[in-house]
Amino acid sequence: MKGRAGLAAVVAGCIALLSVVVLTGAGDANAGFKFTQSGHWVYNSAIGRVFHLDGATRTIDAQVPLPTGKPGAQVVQTDTDAYVLSRSRIDKFGKSDLAVADPLEVPDEQPIGMESAGNAFVVYQKDGRVMRLGEHPATVFSGGQLGDPVVTSDSTLWVHRVEQGDLCQLPLTADRMSCPASVQKGHKGALTVIGAKAVFVDLTADRVYDLTSDGFGAQVDLSNDIPETALVAGNDVDGRIAVLDRDQGVVQLVGLPSRPGQKAEPPITTKIRKGNYDKIASSGHGLALLDRKTADLVTVDRDGKVGYRNVASKVKGSDTGQVEPSLIRGDDSQLYVESGKGDQVVVVDQDGRAEPVPIGSPDDGTNDKPTPSTPTPTHKPDPPVHTQDPPTHTQDPPVHKPDPPEKTTPRPDDKPVVPEKKDPPPKPPVIVAGVPGGPVGVNAKYGTDGPTVTWRAATPNGAPITAYELSWTGGSKSVSAGTRSTLITELAGKTGSYYVTIRARNRVGAGPAVRSNQIKKSYAEAESPREIVVSKDGISGQLTLAWDAPTMGDGTFVKYTVMIGSATAKPRVSTTSTQATVTGLKDGTTYLFYVRAITRAPNGDQLSGKWTSLPAAPVGKEEPTRRIVASRGAGTTYDDCQPPQCAFIQVRIENLRASTRYKIVPYVDGKVFNPGATLETDDEGQLLVDDRFPCNMVGSRVYVTVSGPGGPYKSNTFTWKSG
């Protein structure tokens, strides 16, 4: 079969690439080389063990107990570790010592696992999350649902953001994605890899595009019409694109022209039984197609021979519902089709030949029956079963019966026999402390200032608990042993759904992590009150604040609360009007006041609105109040700042020094947002700036500083909203 020289000339080297197992990269004793990982790890959920299947001999050569995995879990491996991918958790263990590490908390979704050149990838298609495991770990959030991913031989991952149409790449050493190309709106298609090159197959236009870091490269039209509902394998078969027409029950190996203007060879077609196949994968020279609902597997070898078999689990368990089988391409290019519970695997080699292998059978050393502790005299013990595990104790030593005492006739002159002093009974064993158990009743509730997490105490297990540790994507915090509730302000304003995990720690170590319920905003809270000012002062020990009412979101207005020092402090004043007088203050001391609206959601919950803040000090005497008021002004357009998010930051200055120049600098989330401007007040010390500082930072905290005579001054702080 001819190779294809066009489309970045990738197919000419395809056969060589498939046979090479040593790739450049960091290594160990073989410095400068990175070896393709052979074989595959399989999780058997029926018995709670992970088994390593040797890809060449089809035998089990290692196993790890892991009761925490879930049915349907897949396993991927890197150079040094293996990862069991369950819904909501990833369990990691070392391939050399088989030691299981603490789990990773992940979305409640069964991901796609992929391997390439000693690296592993985990893709959560619904959540839009991508994780790279191994020497260059990274977690990337794509911001949308993903199609089937592909990975090239240099470990560059490509994904298709289905709703946006973006085609995005994550190179091996990058910590974020770039999206150099976009699919035409309304077009359907799929990613695949030909040789070492990623391409996009546009099923609507029947066209194939090279993918580069700069966008689309060369493009060629297909010689035949392919339906939009077709499945495309993630890797080529001998330089051809493997496509399944599910409606017709036909597998097509589609060739591409070697140069522009040349006619492509006609596709190679193979008829198969019709079915609802939803997975297709290439082993280089062969194919596997899987209907996960019925567990029906079809294989096509390099000679076009079609094979059929069923890969349903052969063990029955208490699991509710059917656990679907899975199809994964290993780093060795072989395909591994696992039953839902991992008790059966069909290995499809590079030529497409299939061989079933039972996982966790008696031959693997997992079904050994316990040997009786005392052998019966009428039955000789069986010889120990030879397994690949270290030999186990198969027979207890025979029970030693004491000899009967000798009978003697005492002589008259014999002294009485003094009984031998017995040893004291052994002391009870010392209880060894262990890590604590998991916190009980973990619950999290969304709030504007961040979620509030509550829990009940964990079991200390012999050593007092010293702290509770909470963690989430991108952060963590620790609280004292007596704490049972905490507000995580670091997550204030976080959108979408997320989780928080908590674990207890004592002097022995950290206990198991427990995940909270899903945290998600159900109803929109009120926006920040606008134009907050000191409306009345001059009376010793008090001042009056005034503000404009905000939009109330999805709730019904209940009241305003005024706090001092912190947005989460106990309210000093509650009011239903747009002003409040705060008493008990010390003249000349600057206080930071926070004001927010409280609303009631349709379900009856109270919602705390976004706050606005203002630094101010009571003066105890009549004098004009200096005011620096920042707010969202008129909408505008400036470069990438577009409506409805974009508007000017409006700054109103009152009662500063007349006809004096002041420098005004805007801040967003505590950082300088704009170099600012130096402007002059009028002859009454007033200044309105409403056309200088465009901003579109929705959800961010905004304020300005004013530097000059009598200053510096800081305005109120408010949350930027879309117009």
- pLDDT of 398: 42
φ, ψ at 625 (rounded to 5°):
-80, 120
Which residue reads 């969304």 in tokens? Answer: 446
Q: Which CATH superfamily is domain 440-515 in?
A: Immunoglobulins (2.60.40.10)
Q: 3.40.50.2000, 3.40.50.1950, 3.40.30.10, 2.60.40.10: which CATH number matches 522-621?
A: 2.60.40.10
- pLDDT of 715: 93
Distance between CA atoms of residues 702 and 672, nearest Å: 10
Distance between CA atoms of residues 23 and 46, nearest Å: 37
DSSP class per residue in 230-275 = -EE-SB-BTTBEEEEETTTTEEEEE---SSTTPPPPPPEEEE----
521 closest CA partner among 587, 457, 448: 448
Residue 397 in this model has a pLDDT that exceeds 80? no
Hey, what's the torsion of the CAs at 510, 513, 516, 518, to 10 degrees?
Answer: 140
- pLDDT of 54: 87
Residue 362 in this model has a pLDDT that exceeds 50? no
Residue 533, judged by CB atoms within 10 A of its CB (0-12, 13-18, 19+), counts as: buried
Which residue reads 């990175």 in tokens? Answer: 34
Residue 396 in this model has a pLDDT that exceeds 70? no
Distance between CA atoms of residues 502 and 515, nearest Å: 7
The partner residues of 635 in beta bridges, in order of sequence, read: 647
What is the mean pLDDT of the segment spanning 317-332? 79
CB 499 within 8 A of CB 470: no
Q: What angle do CA 145, 151, 152 make, to 5 degrees?
A: 150
Q: What is the pLDDT of residues 644-666, one digit of tens each?
A: 999 999 999 998 999 999 999 99
What is the mean pLDDT of the segment spanning 443-461? 89
Going by their DSSP bridges, the two strands 207-212 and 197-202 should be labelled as antiparallel
Order of strands, edge to edge, in the sheet holding 60-65?
40-44, 49-53, 60-65
- pLDDT of 515: 86
Q: Which of 134-138, 321-325, 488-492 has the lowest mean pLDDT?
A: 321-325
Q: For residue 41, how many C-alpha atoms fall within 13 Å in the half-sphere facing its CB?
A: 32
What is the mean pLDDT of the segment spanning 556-564? 96
What is the mean pLDDT of the segment spanning 140-161? 92
Residue 576 in this model has a pLDDT that exceeds 70? yes
CB 97 within 8 A of CB 132: no
What percent of the chain is modeled with pLDDT above 90? 54
Residue 500, token pair as written in the block: 């928080």
Residue 262 in this model has a pLDDT that exceeds 70? no
Q: What is the pLDDT of residues 266-297, one digit of tens each?
A: 899 999 999 999 999 999 999 999 999 999 99
Hey, is 363 helix, strand or coil? helix
Distance between CA atoms of residues 367 and 128, nearest Å: 40
Q: How far is CA 142 from CA 11, 627, 673, in A?
A: 30, 43, 26
What is the mean pLDDT of the segment spanning 304-332? 84
Residue 370 in this model has a pLDDT that exceeds 50? no
More confident residue, 26 or 278: 278
Domains of the chain, by residue range, sit at: 11-364, 440-515, 522-621, 626-723
Residue 74, token pair as written in the block: 């897949």
The dotted CATH code for 11-364 is: 2.130.10.10
Q: What is the pLDDT of residues 45-104, one digit of tens each?
A: 999 999 999 888 888 988 999 999 999 999 999 989 999 999 999 999 998 888 999 899
Helices in 21-65 by DSSP H: which ranges? none
Fold agreement between 522-621 and 626-723: yes
- CA 612 to centroid of chain Cα atoms: 33
Distance between CA atoms of residues 203 and 198, nearest Å: 16
Q: What's this model's pTM, rounded to 2 decimal places? A: 0.50
CB 467 within 8 A of CB 394: no
Distance between CA atoms of residues 35 and 2, nearest Å: 29
329 closest CA partner among 360, 284, 292: 284
φ, ψ at 18 (rounded to 5°):
-70, -25
CB 77 within 8 A of CB 113: no
Distance between CA atoms of residues 265 and 1, nearest Å: 10
CB 222 within 8 A of CB 203: no
Q: How far is CA 663 from CA 32, 304, 666, 683, 707, in A?
A: 57, 77, 10, 17, 5
DSSP class per residue in 478-525 = EEETT--EEE-GGGTT--S-B--EEEEEESS-B---EE---B---S--
- pLDDT of 462: 85
What percent of the chain is modeled with pLDDT above 70? 83
Residue 306, token pair as written in the block: 């079609």
Which residue reads 């002159």 in tokens? Answer: 413
- pLDDT of 681: 95
What's 13's DSSP letter? G
CB 661 within 8 A of CB 630: no
Domain range 626-723, CATH class: mainly beta
What is the mean pLDDT of the segment spanning 174-198? 92
Residue 6 in this model has a pLDDT that exceeds 90? no
CB 296 within 8 A of CB 290: yes
Residue 632 in this model has a pLDDT that exceeds 60? yes
pLDDT mean across residues, the chain: 83
Q: Which residues of 599-629 are buried (b: 16+ CB within 10 A; e: fewer)?
A: bbbeeeeebbbbbbbbebebbbeeeeebbbb
Residue 374 in this model has a pLDDT that exceeds 80? no
